[in-house]
A and B are shown apart, each in its own frame.
Chain A
């Protein structure tokens, strides 16, 4: 992608911030932290001060309107360092749902606190073990909101949660609740990528605690929010894959066996060259999807699915090859390689595995 000099300046400053404050070593600290910790909130506030929560927000709403290519570049920098931040959960998904699904009063009420970092949100849309956002049984009744959600990203650290649910009349919509509203039980878990995922149970959450986004545009807004989340996640995965690839190529140039650098073996050279071609192919798919969000042209769902499906496969290939090419060291905890490998498999399931995306892609082209 080609960024403007303004976008470049912005992403460079964020990259250097991440290098000093959230290198891969920070993830090692997080995985040993108490279950309630999802990320360093103080560092997130500092990133917000640098502008990370307002990248794609229109200037009319108080944002920077830097565009999705810049968002993708920031996500890639986070991916390079496996940085645990609520970029995806709050700044892309929750904030995106608010901007694209809520009415203007709701936007005015909530958005400023998200943009200035005094609040952090997340989204709860998953009820099954496989991504299926269309399956919603969480429902409002006379007693209040009842049901449950799983795999809520950074859920225990959020101030508010955007939940996909049915109204008492059975109408699908999104509703915002405070994370500590009465009737909400949270069960956090740390998955193998070291990040926090939370199961939510809703038992009679009072109607008065729920602020609903309803109306004709909610469905398309939510689909678009998920598309944006998929592509930002794909960009982050691509950053991880690129970091891992570069570390592996460096290792091929350093490691000696049989008195030569192992990178001189043609079998390994061809596999490395193949990885590189897959990496750039995925990058092209991700950039195309990001660019389509900026231009408003193209089939966003098809482009997002292509980006996520190809990046799933690419990150999986590169993480497998990185472990294999690092030999015995590749399976140790001392090297970071394993952290990337485990992140790859978690990301594969987040926001749709490759099968889900290939099926949706086929549906978009009516076959």
Chain B
């Protein structure tokens, strides 16, 4: 049953990029503001952290975290797809940097 469901999902993905994908992957995309870009959320959180008594903390940077689940032929093509999505949608290159991390195969 699980196998059939996987095949349907693969067929759908395959029609998009003409590849027959077999494996499931998960990846995390982390988006942070570039150095020097205004981060009022980070500043407000830093104020709260210091108010709690953690005077040793000098900076808090706020950002975004996205977990993507996808099918891909191999780890390399999974990383390529996730990187492309991060570049084209998840981040704005004028303001933000991104990092793809924790790319893992989730096939059991």
Chain B binds chain A: no
B residues apposed to A, CB below 8 Å: none
